[in-house]
Amino acid sequence: MPRALFITFEGIDGAGKSSHLDALSDWLRARGHDVVLTREPGGSALAERLRELILHEPMDALTEALLVFAARCDHLRTVIEPALARGATVLCDRFTDATFAYQGGGRGFDLSVLRDLERWVHPTRQPDLTLWFDLDPALAAERRAAARAPDRFERQDAAFFARVRDGYAARAAQAPRRFVRVDAAGSLDTVWARVEAVARERLT
């Protein structure tokens, strides 16, 4: 039986990461993994209710960060940790790296406060692998415009997403063994081939 893994997908809105969650899930299941798909903010009943507030209600950066970590605390307790304990592999669309990128990088919120919240909510739990779907913010904006009506994050300007991208780069530099940068430019098939190559190298 394959060992339990915690794998996170990260990237700015429009980078296309969510499109590859199902594909990697199928790839892992074909190799014997019990896979749980989840997302943040959200993933549990309470966290999904908080997600609606986070994505649609105006608030300051501190309130935003606190709600994100409150949702994460419940998500970890009720979904992620039980799944890993039973031996499942968890694929999560965003985790704490997103908070450092969006609230820390994009909003310019105090990184030391985010680090304290990270220590309080999950002092030891980090992903085994983080796939960072990296894409130029201008191309990501084109993809978002063609895909859906924007939430309050997706309505932010190019400068905001450039700061978010920088926030991801900073997190990747701090955890180079955990992070793998995936060039998110190109067709779905092209990007999936890059993801599959990482999976073959790191997950088999």
The per-residue pLDDT for range 100-153, each reduced to its tens digit, is 999 999 999 999 999 999 999 999 999 999 999 999 998 888 887 766 666 787
In sequence order, the 6+-apart residues with CB closer than 8 A to the CB of 115 are none
Q: Smallest Cα–Cα separation from 93: which of 45, 131, 143, 142?
A: 131
pLDDT in tens, 6-58: 999 999 988 889 889 999 999 999 999 999 999 999 999 999 999 999 999 99
What is residue 130's three-state secondary structure? Answer: strand
What's the pLDDT at 165? 97
pLDDT in tens, 59-115: 999 999 999 999 999 999 999 999 999 999 999 999 999 999 999 999 999 999 999
Average pLDDT, integer, range 162-174: 97
Residue 74 lies in a domain: yes
What's the pLDDT at 139? 87
Tokens of 96: 């704490």
**CATH number of the domain that 177 lies in?**
3.40.50.300
CA distances from 53 to 45, 152, 192 (A): 13, 10, 32
Give how far the C-alpha of residue 7 lies from the chain's centroid of Cα atoms, to the nearest Å: 9
134 strand-pairing partners: 183
Residue 2, pLDDT above cutoff 90: no
CA distances from 73 to 47, 122, 123, 184 (A): 9, 8, 11, 30
Buried b / exposed e along 28-60 (16+ C-beta atoms within 10 A): beeeebebbebbbbbbbebbeebbeebeeeeee
What's the pLDDT at 145? 74
What's the pLDDT at 118? 98
Contact 184, 134 (CB under 8 A): yes
Contact 24, 195 (CB under 8 A): yes
Into how many domains does the chain fold? 1
Residue 1 lies in a domain: no
pTM equals 0.94
What's the pLDDT at 204? 85
Q: Could you write out the DSSP letters of every residue in 162-195?
A: HHHHHHHHHHHHH-TTTEEEEE--S-HHHHHHHH
What's the pLDDT at 102? 96
Q: Which domain holds residue 28?
A: 6-202
Residue 15 lies in a domain: yes
What's the pLDDT at 201? 96
Residue 167 lies in a domain: yes
What's the pLDDT at 147? 64
Residue 119 lies in a domain: yes
- 196, with CB counted inside 10 A (0-12, 13-18, 19+), is middle
